[in-house]
Structure formats: C-alpha cells, structure tokens
Structure 1
Amino acid sequence: MIPMMTKAPDYSSLRAADGTVLRHPDRPRPRYSLPRAVKNFRLLMKDKEDTSLVFRIYESLPSRHFMPRVQALALSERGELLRRTEPSLPEILDDHAALRATRKGSLAHAYCDFMESEGLSAAGLVAEAEKLGRPKYPDVVQWFAERSRDTHDLFHVLTGYGRDALGEQCVLLFTHGQSPTHGHLLIGYAGAANIRKMVQGSNAPVLGAVNQAKRTGKGAARLIEQPIRELLKQPLERVRDALNIPEPTKYRECHRIWREEGIDPYDLLATSEDTGEPVAA
C-alpha cells in the first residue's frame, strides 16, 4: 500500500498580529542533506575556528519540527510580546554598560564577565553567521532563527559549561534538548567521541557529561521563550532555579578527574592542534 503524502502547511498564509508573515514565500525551503553536512563537518575538523561551517551543518540538517516551533511561539501572546520588546538581542547583550548597572550577582554581570574574559561579543556571532551570505527575509522565521543563534553564549553562563572542548559539546547537546536537530547531535557527539580518543585511558565520564547536558536541556524551560531583559536583571542562581537548570555534575567530574590525571581540560584544543584531531565546534 502506497502511503499518502502529507501536504506541507502553507506558512506564508499565516501572519503575526502586526501583519508580519510567518514564513516569507520567497524564503527557500530547507533541504535535508546528510552528505553535505558530513562534507562541512570534515571541513570544520580542518579549521575549527571557522564557525560559519557550523551554521552550514545546521542548514544541511533541518528539523521538520522547526516551523511548528516557530508558529507555536511567535503566534502566541508570549511570542508577540517578545517580538515587540526584544526585536534584536545583540543590541541588548552588547550594551555592557547597561548590563553592569544591574546588581552584582545578576545574570547580566555573569554574562558580561564571561564575554569579556573570553573576548566575545554578540555582534561577533552575528558576523560569523553572515559569512554565509544568506539573504534575510521580512518574516517571523528571521526573528526566531536569530534569537536562537543569539542565546548561545547565555547557555554557557546559565549551564556552567565553559568554552573548553567538553564544555562546547555539552552546550550543543543542551541546545539539542531545547530545540532538537540532527546538527547538534552530529557535532556534539562526534566532538565528544574525539575527546575520548584524545584522552584514551582516562576515567572521565565524557559521554555521561554530554548525555546529562542533553537531559538538562530537555528538562529546562526553553530560553528562547523567556524575556531575556528581565532574566538579565535577576540573580544568576534564581534564574537557574526558575529555568530548572541544575549543576553540571558530570562535566565538573570530568574536569576533576582530568586534573588528577595530569590533564588540563582547557588544553585539549591545543592538543588537538598538535595531533591534527578535531574537538569542538
């Protein structure tokens, strides 16, 4: 018996309260291509600093649940409010003077500490994405996709995962728990497997750490749905409790064990460069 084909919903006929179309009719439909994703992953292994390759991998492995997630949030009252009050997160996140005006101990202070210590900016992540040269469309999908991208570094701060090799893989799997895609799984688990290869013989629970991150992401409130301005003003620990983000115990156990074994968790990338092996996205 031949299965009946389900017609894709016409998202271009749906509009937000302000008239913005959900998905612009000229926006190309994403095409799933595992070979293309693998090709870009191999390029990423050779040049781990080219973050644009990460975006190419995601584009090659689109989730069939993406548009339903966009519709569920963006056309809800919560989504309408977020679009009005937070049309662009980089402008909020890169205004460190305003963020530092909040009380010490706030998520804002922790975010500024993290970004300044790492030499990062929200605008920098935008620039990496724009290396792809993809056109932008006046639709709600554009807002949703950019908001998803711009919360990445907030994930680091809220979860406690650093920018070491394992921390990056944990953030990717946490993100998968929040918004499942095969791209997060490919990069996250391939990176974790490579870390295990580099530290053969170690007792550190690398897979336990990334699996815990994925479970945490699934169990936590979705950050993309939260009012970021308001969260930034609140004490960091209060935000973690409210979003149901527990301590990253397995990740910290890996760091503890590696240090006992004479391995610097933050030197894994340097080891990777010496051996030609890939680690993180």
Structure 2
Amino acid sequence: MTETIRNFPVGTQVDMAPDGTIFRHPDRPEPRRNIRAAVHHFRELLKDKEDTSHVFKIFEALPSAKFVPMARRFALSREGQRVRESEPYLPTILDDHEALRQMPAGSVAHAYCEFMEREDLTAAGLVEEGQRAWPDRPHYGDLIEWYAWRRRDTHDLLHVLTGYGRDALGEQCVLAFTYGQNGGFAHLFIAYLGALNVKRGVKTSAPVLRAVRQAHKAGAGAPRLCEMPIRQLLAMPLDEARELMRVGDPSEYYRCHRLWRDRGIDPYDLLGKDLAEA
C-alpha cells in the first residue's frame, strides 16, 4: 500500500508493508555507477581476498537495476511479510550454533556449522566487514535495507549449498551462481575478472572459466536464497536442500582442484600475496 507519512516532507508518498514498515526511505540516495571505483577496489581485493570491505565497495560502485524491483516484489508480498516476521535478522539465527546443532544430523544446519567453524567465520563478522566499508552510513530501517541484509547474510550459506569452497575460484563461482539467481553486474564483474586473474597467474589446463560459467548457468535455474525461509532450509537434509536449489554437480570446479593438486598447487592459495603483487 502507499501512504503519506508524517515526519516526511508534505505530500511524500511511500510504499509500505501491512505493519507500517516503509519500502524505501525518502532520504535513501539513488545509487550511481562508478566503473573506476569498481576497478580500484577489485585491485585492492586481489591484494587481500579476506578484506571483504572491497567487495561491498564494488557492489556500491556497480548497482543492479534489478535489485529494487526484486526487493519490492518480495518484501511487499505476503510471503515476504511472513518471512520478515519469523526471521527479522538472520545473523542472530545463523550464529546460534548450539541451537542449529539441535537440528537433525545430516541437515544443512550441521553442514553450515561445520563450514563456519572450520573457516573461523561468523555471520556477525560479515556484518562488521560491511560496517568497516561504510562506517558513517546511516541506517534507514526500510525494507530495501532488510532485503539487502538477507542477501549479505546468506552468502556463506550459499557456499555450503553449492559445494564451492572459500578458495579464490570457489568465491568467483559463488558470485557467478548468485548472478544467475539475482542478476547484478557486480557479481559477474568480480567473478569473471577474478577467474581471469587466476587463469593468468596459474598457467595450467584447469578449466577456470568453464567452472565459473557452469556456476553461472546453475544459478539461473535456482530459487533466490534470500527469499526462502532460512530456518526451514537449515532443518532440511543437505542433499534435499541442494536438489531444491538445483545446484547440480560443480564438476568443472572439482576438476580444477584435481589438476592443481596434481601439480602441487594449493587451490586455497591461488591468490596469495606473491601472485597478487605479480
């Protein structure tokens, strides 16, 4: 529904959910594309792939024209309202490993806990990376913010569901998969430039670009993870959840890993400091 809201300029009309949460705050600025900034932050990311703040900056520099229509369609729908009521903030759910481990053995929840603990990650840590990228950014409390946060907060869960690791190629494949789901040029920008950087730096017959393309195509048939009830997904057997997401077999990604290991190359150190400087 659309209403005129008090405390905003006279005549301001905004879309809002049934509970009164506005879709887009009138003070929220319009995003602008900045290719030069995107390239700069991509170069900085190559120097330290763990510095996720540069990923956030790339997405800010390459805004997606599809994002707001997608957010509007879901956030203002009945299903979106139900999901928001049951899952207002995902990091609280995802970082409660004690509760997640109460779910059945073999579930997504158990796989997620094992992945996050092995990688020494937390959902709250990803939030902190975003805050480090924009320490002075205001919070608008609108549905655009809520939808964007769900996309951010489900990133590591997508690693678990797709089977792509946190190695350099695995990150590019997850981004390519996400583009297939959600669109957004920034996903492809990082995925393919990152893959080209890997291919240039590690000269083998590994099908790096085919692996990214395979992930891209798989994502095109997958439901949007951020729009799914995450608690229900976490309770599902991992195999069933992967079928639901239509992930398929990331065979080209695994083939790259086999070829690299056969040559004594660690797939998890492809973008190490020496390669990034080179």
Query: Deviations for 1:53-91, whole angstroms, at most 9, x for unmatched residues?
Result: 110110111111111001111111111111111110000
Amino acid aligned to 1:275: L
Q: Does 2:135 match 1:135?
A: no
Amino acid aligned to 1:58: F
Q: Which residue pairs with 1:275 in the alignment?
A: 275
Query: Deviations for 1:94-123, whole angstroms, at most 9, x for unmatched residues?
Result: 000000011110000000000000000000
Q: Which residue pairs with 1:4 in the alignment?
A: none
Distance 1:240 1:275 in 2: 34
Q: Which residue pairs with 2:247 in the alignment?
A: 245
Gap change, CA 1:257 and 1:12, over 3 Å in 2: farther
TM-score, normalised relative to structure 2: 0.92
Amino acid aligned to 2:39: V
Count of equivalent residues: 265
Query: Deviations for 1:107-153, whole angstroms, at most 9, x for unmatched residues?
Result: 00000000000000000000000111221102101100100000000
Query: Deviations for 1:171-221, whole angstroms, at most 9, x for unmatched residues?
Result: 111111111112111111111001111221x11110000001111111111
Residues 13 and 21, structure 1, Cα contact 8 Å, conserved in 2: yes
SS at structure 2 position matched to 1:13? strand
Residues 74 and 80, structure 1, Cα contact 8 Å, conserved in 2: yes
Distance 2:45 2:199 in 1: 18
Residues 168 and 270, structure 2, Cα contact 8 Å, conserved in 1: yes
Distance 2:16 2:219 in 1: 30
Q: CA deviation at 1:49?
A: 2.9
Distance 1:12 1:88 in 2: 27
Equivalent residue for 1:189, pick from 192, 195, 211: 192
Distance 1:241 1:257 in 2: 27
Distance 1:42 1:256 in 2: 28
Distance 2:256 2:43 in 1: 27
Q: Which residue pairs with 1:64 in the alignment?
A: 65
Distance 2:269 2:155 in 1: 22
Residues 63 and 181, structure 1, Cα contact 8 Å, conserved in 2: yes
Distance 2:277 2:44 in 1: 12
Gaps of 5+ in 1: 1-10
Residues 208-247 of structure 1 mapped to structure 2, 5 A cutoff: 208-247=210-249
Residues 1-281 of structure 1 mapped to structure 2, 5 A cutoff: 13-131=14-132, 132-133=134-135, 134-200=137-203, 202-269=204-271, 272-277=272-277
* Aligned-residue RMSD, C-alpha: 1.5
Q: CA deviation at 1:277?
A: 4.0
Distance 2:13 2:155 in 1: 28
TM-score, normalised relative to structure 1: 0.91
Residues 48 and 273, structure 2, Cα contact 8 Å, conserved in 1: no
Residues 194 and 277, structure 1, Cα contact 8 Å, conserved in 2: no
Amino acid aligned to 2:101: R
Amino acid aligned to 1:203: S
